[in-house]
Amino acid sequence: MKLRARLGYVAAGATVLVALLTPFLLYGMFAKGVVALGLHVDEIYSGGPKVRTIQMSGYSIDVHGVVTPHMLQRETAFVQMDWRPVTALPAHVSDLVDVDGDGKPDVRVSFDVPRDPKAPLRVNVEALNPRYEGMRNEGKERYSKLIVRVDDAVLVRVPVVGR
Amino acid sequence: MATEARAVRLGSAVRRGVGQSVLLTLPMVVWSLLMFFHPGAATDRNSVIAAGVTMAFMVALFFLMMRTGNTYRWRRVFFVALGLLFPVGFIYQAIHFRGSMGIPMEEMIAGRTPFCFMPIPMLILPAALTRTVVFPGSIVGVGGMSGAGIAAMVGLWLALTLVLGRGWCSYACFFGGIEEGMASAPKKATIRKIDPRWRLGPWAVLLAMVLLSLALFEPAYCEWLCPFKAVSEYLAARNTVGLLQNALFVVLFAGLVVVLPLLTKKRTQCSCFCPFGAFQSIFNKTSVFDVRIDKERCKPCVACQTACPTMSLSKESIARGETLLSCTKCGACVDACPRGAMNWHVKGTEAAANPERARLLFLYAAWALAVMFGGSILAQGIRTILHFVL
Range of the domain at A10: 1-39
- Could you report how far apart the first and last alpha carbons of chain A are, in Å? 67
Residues of B in contact with A38 (CB under 8 A): 131
Residues B247 and B154 in one domain: yes
Residues A50 and A69 in one domain: yes
Substitution target in A3, A10, A39 with the highest count of B β-carbons within 10 Å is A39
Query: Cα separation of B206 and B278, whole Å?
Result: 7
Residues B254 and B221 in one domain: yes
Where helices occur in chain B by DSSP H, the ranges are: 2-11, 18-36, 45-68, 72-98, 105-109, 120-130, 150-164, 168-171, 176-184, 201-216, 220-224, 240-252, 260-264, 268-272, 275-281, 303-307, 315-320, 332-336, 355-369, 375-389
Residues A31 and A80 in one domain: no
- Is it the case that residue B351 has pLDDT exceeding 90? no
CA B343 to chain centre: 21
Substitution target in A2, A9, A156 with the highest count of B β-carbons within 10 Å is A9
Q: Is B286 on the interface with A (CB under 8 A)?
A: no
**Mean pLDDT value of segment B80-98:** 96
Q: Is B110 on the interface with A (CB under 8 A)?
A: yes
Residues of B in contact with A20 (CB under 8 A): 31, 368
Q: What is the DSSP string of B73-109?
A: HHHHHHHHHHHHHHHHHHHHHHHHHHSSSEE-HHHHH
- Is it the case that residue A146 has pLDDT exceeding 80? yes
Which among B382, B359, B101 is positioned nearest to B229, based on CA atoms? Answer: B101
Whether B317 maps to a domain, the answer reads yes
CB contact under 8 A, A73 and B358: no
Residues B110 and B160 in one domain: yes
Query: Cα separation of A69 and A42, whole Å?
Result: 9
Mean pLDDT over the full length of chain B: 94
Residues of A in contact with B132 (CB under 8 A): 39-43, 70
- Is it the case that residue B355 has pLDDT exceeding 50? yes
**Mean pLDDT value of segment A63-87:** 94
Whether B2 maps to a domain, the answer reads no
Residues B158 and B52 in one domain: no
Q: What is the dihedral of CA B106, B108, B113, B117, to 10 degrees?
A: 170
Cβ–Cβ under 8 Å, residues B276 and B121: yes
Closest chain B C-alpha to A96 CA, distance in angstroms: 24
Residues B117 and B246 in one domain: yes
Residues B153 and B69 in one domain: no
Q: What is the dihedral of CA B335, B339, B342, B347, to 10 degrees?
A: 130
- Is it the case that residue A77 has pLDDT exceeding 80? yes
**pLDDT value, residue A163:** 64
**pLDDT value, residue B9:** 40
CB contact under 8 A, A22 and B160: yes
**Mean pLDDT value of segment B322-331:** 97
Report which residue type is found at B175. Answer: F
Query: Residues of B numbered 333-372 whose beta carbons fall under 8 angstroms of chain A's beta carbons: which are they?
Result: 346-350, 353, 358, 361-362, 364-366, 368-369, 372
CB contact under 8 A, B106 and A34: no
Q: Is B360 helix (H, G, I), strand (E, B) or coil?
A: helix
Residues A70 and A137 in one domain: yes
Residues A68 and A117 in one domain: yes
A-chain residue closest to B237, CA distance: A141
Residues B133 and B211 in one domain: yes
- β-bridge pairing A78-84 and A92-97: unpaired
Residues B131 and B207 in one domain: yes
Range of the domain at B23: 15-99+354-390
Question: How many CB pairs lie under 8 A apart between chains A and B?
Answer: 164
- Is it the case that residue B51 has pLDDT exceeding 90? yes
Residues A82 and A153 in one domain: yes
**Mean pLDDT value of segment B4-28:** 76
Mean pLDDT over the full length of chain A: 95
Q: Hey, which bits of A20-134 come out as E strands?
A: 40-41, 50-55, 60-64, 78-84, 92-97, 107-112, 123-127
**pLDDT value, residue B247:** 94
Whether B1 maps to a domain, the answer reads no
Query: Cα separation of B309 and B266, whole Å?
Result: 4
Q: Is B185 helix (H, G, I), strand (E, B) or coil?
A: coil
Task: Give the pLDDT band of residue B359 (cuts 50, 70, 90).
Answer: very high
Cβ count near B93 (within 10 Å): 17
What per-residue string of b and e applies to A74-90 under the rule 16 or more CB within 10 Å gives b? Answer: ebbebbbbbbbeeeebe
CB contact under 8 A, A7 and B348: yes
**pLDDT value, residue B154:** 97
Query: Cα separation of B274 and B268, whole Å?
Result: 9
Residues A72 and A131 in one domain: yes
Q: Is A32 on the interface with B (CB under 8 A)?
A: yes
Task: Give the pLDDT band of residue B204 (cuts 50, 70, 90).
Answer: very high
Cβ–Cβ under 8 Å, residues B180 and B171: no
Which among B214, B169, B190 is positioned nearest to B312, based on CA atoms? Answer: B169
Domain count, chain A: 2
Half-sphere exposure in the Cβ direction for A100 (13 Å, CA): 12
- Is it the case that residue B74 has pLDDT exceeding 90? yes
Q: Which is higher by pLDDT, A142 or B261?
A: B261
Instruction: Please give the C-alpha separations between residue B42 and each of A17, B37, B45, B47, in angstroms, as whole numbers.
Output: 27, 8, 9, 6
pLDDT tens for A98-124 read 999 999 999 999 999 999 988 999 999
Closest chain A C-alpha to B87 CA, distance in angstroms: 23
pLDDT tens for B241-266 read 889 999 999 999 999 999 999 999 99
ipTM of the complex: 0.93
Query: Cα separation of B229 and B197, whole Å?
Result: 26
**pLDDT value, residue A141:** 85
Cβ–Cβ under 8 Å, residues A66 and A77: yes
- Is it the case that residue B177 has pLDDT exceeding 50? yes
- Is it the case that residue B289 has pLDDT exceeding 60? yes
Residues whose CB falls within 8 Å of the CB of residue B14, separated by 6 or more in sequence, listed in order: B69, B356
Edge to edge, what strands does the sheet with A140-142 contain? A50-55, A60-64, A78-84, A153-159, A145-150, A140-142
Q: Is A15 on the interface with B (CB under 8 A)?
A: yes
- Is it the case that residue B302 has pLDDT exceeding 60? yes
Residues A50 and A100 in one domain: yes
Residues whose CB falls within 8 Å of the CB of residue A31, separated by 6 or more in sequence, listed in order: B148, B151, B152, B154, B155, B156
Residues B217 and B70 in one domain: no
Q: Which is higher by pLDDT, B7 or B152?
A: B152
Phi, psi of B33 (to 5 degrees): -60, -45
CB contact under 8 A, A4 and B349: yes
Fill in the DSSP letter of residue A63: E
CB contact under 8 A, B140 and A73: no
**Mean pLDDT value of segment A86-109:** 96
Query: Cα separation of B122 and B207, whole Å?
Result: 9
Which among A83, A84, A66 is positioned nearest to A75, based on CA atoms? Answer: A66
Q: Is B193 helix (H, G, I), strand (E, B) or coil?
A: coil
Residues of A in contact with B239 (CB under 8 A): 141
Q: Is B263 on the interface with A (CB under 8 A)?
A: no
Q: Is A23 on the interface with B (CB under 8 A)?
A: yes
Closest chain A C-alpha to B390 CA, distance in angstroms: 31
Residues B38 and B109 in one domain: no
Query: Residues of A numbered 122-141 whose beta carbons fall under 8 angstroms of chain B's beta carbons: which are they?
Result: 140-141
Residues A57 and A128 in one domain: yes
Domain count, chain B: 3
Cβ–Cβ under 8 Å, residues B143 and B196: no
Residues A68 and A104 in one domain: yes
Task: Give the pLDDT band of residue A67 (cuts 50, 70, 90).
Answer: very high
**pLDDT value, residue B4:** 37
- β-bridge pairing B132-133 and A40-41: parallel
Option in B139, B151, B288 nearest A11 (CB)? B288
Residues B126 and B109 in one domain: yes
**pLDDT value, residue B8:** 40
Task: Give the pLDDT band of residue B2 (cuts 50, 70, 90).
Answer: very low
- Is it the case that residue B1 has pLDDT exceeding 90? no
